[in-house]
Amino acid sequence: MMFADAPFGVVRLEGESIDSAVMLDANRELMSISGGRAQPGSRFADLFIADQGPAALAEKLRDALDKAVNLRLAGPDEKCADVFVVLDRHGRPSAAYVIDVTDKVQMQQSLAAGQKLQAMGQLAGGVAHDFNNQLQGIIFNVNKLQVRHPPGDPTYAELKSIYEFAARGAELVRTMLAWSRKQVFRQEVFDVSDFVSESYMFLRDIIDERIKLDIVHGRDLPPIRADRLQLDTALTNLCTNARDAMLEKNGGGQLTIRTSKADASVARADNFNLVPEGDYVLIEVIDDGAGIPPELMQKIFEPFFTTKDEGKGTGYGLATVYGIVKQSGGFIYPVSKVGRGTTFKVFLPAYDGELEPVEDVESPRELAPPPTAEGANAGKAGDLAGRGRILLVEDEDGVRGLAVQLLSSFGYQVMEAADGESALEIIKSNAGAIDILISDVVMPGMDGPALLEASRDYLGHARVVFISGYTERDMTQAVDKGRAVSFMPKPFTLRQLGERVKQELAAIASERPDGET
């Protein structure tokens, strides 16, 4: 009775060695996990997959005489099992225990993949931050030269080309920041059904006419809180990947975007066990394309990984999607069958607060647009000139020097500091007399948020503008909630810096009582 009802697989064996032993009988659990293959008279070794050949499998089974050995069961499900073999008093195999550990192995693999992606994300974020600082110096220098060499000058075309290459580099950095989950988010509360419906016409334009696009809305969906533009980027990337997979397979197909309410049990049914309990909105992007081979499933979200021919894919798309979903507090995974298609499932946490747009503290009030070739010039002093006292804190000497030079040429009184400690001394010496504090976020020693915290009693009415190659999420806890704080992501142009200063000074003037100077 114990043999038949044991919660793990048990089999009685007969044979001189474990690799040749046959099964006499097996209990119900082993029949279940082996898919009915544990038949009397069959070789015990045939229950398992010989990844590296019969000899290697035989060696692993012999190892199971002394300890539990992990093996993959043959069959369509390819389950994983811990196997332990028992010998009789003559040293021959008499029984074996087979324990299904598929869920445990899959969770370990998922955690390992997540840790790998997290480590790569930290590296990518650090590289992106440093690269943004380099791009900032390039763009500032080009801006300065463009003022001296306007359109019509023989060198203007070369300067424009340098600027455009820098702008392309900035776009690459934004992709890296998206994947590493350190880009700036402007979060708001919205309805997913409305969001998907609004995306339909754009998606219809980018999806090949040979592909049918359907949207299936779920009922009574809760709202979510996310960055609408970033989520639109994620949905677009998923749909273009699906388009390419279907065109590659058969020149067309069916693409479906489906929304529904979901909880963690939906993910567990797909053997994805990392979604915590809670309420979610599920967005599924379903195609009937070529599918994803199992050996590639763990790599698809890595940056620069692509299966497309050279020149046809960058490997940014799914890496960007992964970063956007994770920074939104969500989860994403694919369910795929080779030759039958792929479904990407995106779980986004349901929002149960007030149904009003809520902007993240770390998001900019007025984000500077990305650099473009148009409007790259720093501009003439006349349209950006003004009066005011500015403290600029930046540890990159070249960037700081050009910014100080520009703002001074516009008529501002500019003080500068290379680190937070020096800046704090200047603030104390000029208590209440500074109009705008412009500070880098990440600096050696005292960083931007720490500087703001230490100097709040000396800043008076000053506005604060943080600049950085990326925004760190713990910055939200250090921001002075009672002060107007905005953010400019690097790289930005000299003109954008001048325009931001004008905006901040205009805001100060509007907040003062009539007649106050």
Q: Is 123 helix (H, G, I), strand (E, B) or coil?
A: helix
Measured CA to CA, the distance from residue 463 to residue 460 in angstroms comes to: 9
Which pLDDT belongs to residue 339? 86
Under 8 Å between Cβ of 306 and 318: no
Q: Which two tokens stand for residue 50?
A: 């010989």
407 to 39, 414, 462, 495, 501: CA distances (angstroms): 84, 7, 17, 10, 9
> Going from the N-terminus, what domains does the chain have, and what CATH number goes with each?
2-100 (3.30.450.20), 188-349 (3.30.565.10), 381-511 (3.40.50.2300)
Q: Which two tokens stand for residue 387?
A: 């009066």
pLDDT, tens digit, 9 for 90 and up, residues 128-143: 667 777 788 888 888 8
- If we measure between CA atoms, which residue out of 443, 404, 397, 408 comes closest to residue 424? 443
Total Cβ atoms within 10 A of residue 194: 12
The pTM is what? Answer: 0.48
Which residues in the chain show pLDDT less than 70?
1-6, 76-78, 105-129, 171-172, 174-186, 303-317, 354-382, 469-484, 512-517
- Omega cis (within 30) before 40: no
**Residue length, the chain?**
517
pLDDT, tens digit, 9 for 90 and up, residues 443-466: 888 988 899 989 989 998 899 999
Under 8 Å between Cβ of 9 and 74: no
SS3 string of 428-451?
HHCCCCCCEEEEECCCCCCCHHHH
